[in-house]
Amino acid sequence: MDWEQTITDKIDRNRNAKGFPVAEDFGTTDDDVKDYIYDKQRILDREEEREKSLTIPGIILVMPVIIISGFGEGVNLLLLGVVLGVILMLLYFVLMKSLDKNKLKKIYDSDIEDYIAAVTKYKEE
């Protein structure tokens, strides 16, 4: 069960419970909250998928070795290719992480985040 399911299930189960936070009290609507949670979960899922699937980083790591091997042979060229591959792979991870952070910043809504925090803190009976 991911973060999106946890929050939406808690909202659905406790919607009519006494003392449960109401989205309108936080200046938002249930539909806006569900859309926000869905969008945020998609961004979090992309980040998780990149960590599991190492196809692109693997290709980025190997390509400099293959390209540099066309210019000659030797341990020094091989090491240069590996070092360049590692640097490019690290740049890929940093770039993807920063893109995800920017997307999270763009969709950030303090009212909805406050509502989600209140829902999370609510103790079910």
What is the per-residue pLDDT across 60-83, written as a single tens digit (0 to 9) for each?
999 999 999 888 888 999 999 999
List alpha helices for 15-54, DSSP H. 30-52
The per-residue pLDDT for range 36-60, each reduced to its tens digit, is 999 999 998 988 888 788 888 999 9
- Percent of the chain predicted with pLDDT > 70: 98
Helix, strand, coil % over all residues of the chain, rounded to 5: 80, 0, 20
